[in-house]
């Protein structure tokens, strides 16, 4: 196996590229970004709906000789809240915005990518979500009118870097 084929050496790139590509397959995602979210111009309406990938940390394990890398990931999936519903009636429960629609849609974006890593093709490719996933709904996290879901979970993949190679 050449160095370029090794997962352990390229794990960070492979996880970020895989997440980006999988998110862009979803019709409810227009743009995918990564890194420091404060550096993304969230005022540009044409980039939404947006998913933002953050790799928070990584743990290296030696599970009885079969080493793994576990990345703690947060994916923010969001869209712009619209206040232009076609009705003049204010529903006190839902309101006159699309906030609940956005949260529901972006939850499905997050749920789908997690499920692909629990038993779909990504699981077979050794990008595996094995533990619990936390979903946090937000509406006032950023400066403009955004709503969405922050999904936090751990992705485990094989570490093929050995001291003997």
pLDDT tens digit at each of 165 positions of the chain: 333 455 677 889 999 999 999 999 999 999 999 988 888 887 888 899 999 999 999 998 876 555 889 999 999 999 999 876 566 666 666 667 889 999 999 999 999 999 999 998 899 888 999 899 999 999 977 777 899 999 999 999 988 776 655
Q: In Å, how far are 30, 87, 147 from 48, measured between CA atoms?
A: 6, 24, 11
Q: For residue 164, what pLDDT is reported?
A: 59
**73 and 155 Cβ atoms separated by less than 8 Å:** yes
Please, what CATH class does the domain formed by 3-158 belong to?
Answer: alpha beta
pLDDT at 144: 75
Nearest to 28 by CA among 67, 79, 68: 79
């Amino acid at each position: 196996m050449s160095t370029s084929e090794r997962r352990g050496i390229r794990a960070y790139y492979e996880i970020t590229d895989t997440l980006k590509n999988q998110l862009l397959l979803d019709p409810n995602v227009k743009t995918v970004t990564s890194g420091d979210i404060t550096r993304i111009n969230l005022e540009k309406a044409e980039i939404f709906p947006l998913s933002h990938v953050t790799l928070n940390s990584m743990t290296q394990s030696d599970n009885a000789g079969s080493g793994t890398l576990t990345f703690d990931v947060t994916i923010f999936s969001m869209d712009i809240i619209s206040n232009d519903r076609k009705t003049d009636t204010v529903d006190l429960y839902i309101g006159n915005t699309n906030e609940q629609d956005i949260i529901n849609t972006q939850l499905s974006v997050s749920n789908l990518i997690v499920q692909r890593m629990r038993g779909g093709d990504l699981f077979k490719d050794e990008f595996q979500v094995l533990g619990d996933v936390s979903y946090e709904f937000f509406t006032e996290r950023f400066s403009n009118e955004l709503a969405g879901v922050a999904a936090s979970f751990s992705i485990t993949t094989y570490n093929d870097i050995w001291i003997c190679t």
